[in-house]
């Protein structure tokens, strides 16, 4: 029996809230410590990889949450496979702070460590994007979406979702040129996500699940 999707959204929002909280705690732990004898400006400057990783990871987590919110407002019913796909997506979302911390710690390490941690990071966001795509594909296939949803809009959302993993791979490839360039590209992708696209909430009206 299919059930309403509101509980899934509530649970998912809780996971996103925990992820953001964990990232904030990690940021506090990387604050400028005076015990080392460093002045605050020097301590802040030396900790720049942690701050950069935090900004990028918060942006990616926010991008994922926006996409999740926009997608699930079209879902009116859920079944067991859709619940599993959503749980697997959240598994990767919850792993993002861990891989971001590894990435920050190894930005100034040897190239091998840089590439390994970059691969773990992109593996996390790719895994999330994969199960996001699977969730949308399954909801369309099983007709779990709102019956009034325009099929052309559904196809446009599908194309948009498929583009995200490709862009993540492009950003990862840049790590073999320069790790910092790879991070900058992640920031660019986050910025592009703020541009209104098919499936996003309209700017002057609210689409409500009925």
- With residues binned 3-state (H G I as helix, E B as strand, rest as coil), the percentages for the chain, rounded to 5, are 75, 0, 25
Tell me if the pTM is above 0.75.
yes
pLDDT by 10s per residue, the chain, length 210:
456 788 899 999 999 988 888 877 776 666 555 445 666 677 677 777 777 778 888 888 888 898 898 889 899 999 999 999 999 999 999 998 888 878 777 777 777 887 888 888 888 988 999 999 999 999 999 999 988 888 888 888 888 888 888 888 887 787 777 777 777 787 787 777 777 666 665 544 444 444
Angstrom distance (rounded) from CA 146 to CA 37: 60
């Amino acid at each position: 029996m299919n059930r309403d999707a509101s509980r899934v959204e509530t649970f998912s929002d809780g996971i996103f809230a925990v992820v953001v909280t964990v990232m904030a705690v990690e940021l506090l732990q990387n604050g400028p410590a005076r015990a080392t004898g460093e002045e605050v400006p020097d301590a802040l400057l030396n900790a720049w990889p942690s701050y950069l990783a935090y900004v990028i990871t918060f942006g990616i987590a926010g991008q994922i949450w926006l996409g999740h919110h926009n997608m699930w407002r079209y879902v009116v019913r859920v079944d067991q496979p859709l619940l599993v796909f959503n749980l697997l997506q959240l598994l990767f979302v919850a792993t993002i702070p861990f891989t971001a911390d590894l990435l920050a710690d190894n930005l100034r390490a040897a190239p091998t460590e840089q590439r390994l941690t970059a691969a773990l990071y992109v593996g996390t966001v790719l895994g999330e994007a994969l199960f996001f795509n699977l969730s949308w594909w399954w909801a369309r296939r099983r007709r779990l979406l709102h019956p009034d949803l325009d099929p052309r809009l559904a196809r446009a959302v599908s194309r948009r979702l498929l583009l995200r993993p490709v862009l993540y791979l492009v950003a990862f490839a840049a790590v073999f040129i320069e790790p910092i360039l790879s991070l900058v590209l992640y920031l660019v992708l986050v910025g592009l996500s703020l541009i209104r696209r098919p499936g996003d909430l309209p700017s002057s009206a609210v689409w409500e699940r009925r």
